[in-house]
Structure formats: structure tokens, C-alpha cells
Amino acid sequence: MSNAAPPRHAARNSGYERGPARPKDEFPLTGRTSSGDETGVIPAFLIDMALHAAIGVTAWYLAPGTTAVLYGILAWLSASFLHRTVIQHLTRTTIGKCRYGLRLRHADGTYPSTWQLTAQWFRGGWSCFDLFDSAR
């Protein structure tokens, strides 16, 4: 008779069924409430954008000399990146989304990883350039 514990893989996965695999390039859904409502997505985005811009403007105002604009832009980008990737991964929401009870989730209900949030942040930044390119 052996007193050995079952293999970790068997203990972790017993009775658990995986759903269909998500495509690797799936873009996380916009924020949704627990009831599936998307009301407040645009105001939440505007609140977050205003917060990031306010941090950038404050750094621009406080920075000395001719590099003040550079410091302001770097502070704005840093605040945006940290807020929308690291903080959102830890708290599952941003300040603007929290105001409306929104959380960013995949269709299967799982939350995006830090890497997925980082990719989404870069896609959002790149889409700004696409917007300007399509205006020509």
C-alpha cells in the first residue's frame, strides 16, 4: 500500500473540463458588467483618457526647461501604460471602468493576461495612427 499523493496534474484537473480554445490573437472584449451590459464604455474611456492626460499635463507644467513637453508626453504614455496594463491586470478594472462597474473579459468569462493587455494597449496606440492615415 502506497501513501503517495496523486500526481499534481491529476489533482489539479480532476473534474474540470476545458471549453473550446480561444484563438491566440483574440482581442479581449470591451468592458462588461456582470449582467453583460456595456453601458458606460465611452464615458469610462473618456475618464481614463482625462486621467492620463492630466498626469502628462502636470508633468509638463512641473518640468523645467525646454524638455518639459518631452517629460509631459513620457508621463502621459507611462501613466496610460501602467494604468491600462499593470493596474487593470491586478484590479480587473481601471478607474473609469470602475465608475460604471465594467470589467474587461473574454467571451468565455476569463480575464486577459498582462501580456494580452499590453498587446491591446499597443494596438490601441497603433489604431490612432490608422485613424490619422485614413483621414487623408
pLDDT digits 0-9 by tens, 109-129: 788 889 999 998 998 878 777
Low-confidence ranges of the chain (pLDDT < 70): 1-38, 131-136
The x, y and z cell numbers of residue 50, run together, are 482625462
CA distance 104 to 118: 13
123: amino acid identity, one letter = R
Q: Would you state the pLDDT for residue 100?
A: 87
Residue length of the chain = 136
- The contacts of residue 76 (CB under 8 Å, 6+ apart) are 52, 53, 55, 56, 57, 59
pTM: 0.70
- The contacts of residue 106 (CB under 8 Å, 6+ apart) are 22, 26, 28, 29, 112
CA distance 92 to 109: 12
Q: Would you state the pLDDT for residue 7?
A: 52
33: amino acid identity, one letter = T
Report the chain's mean pLDDT, rounded to a whole number.
79
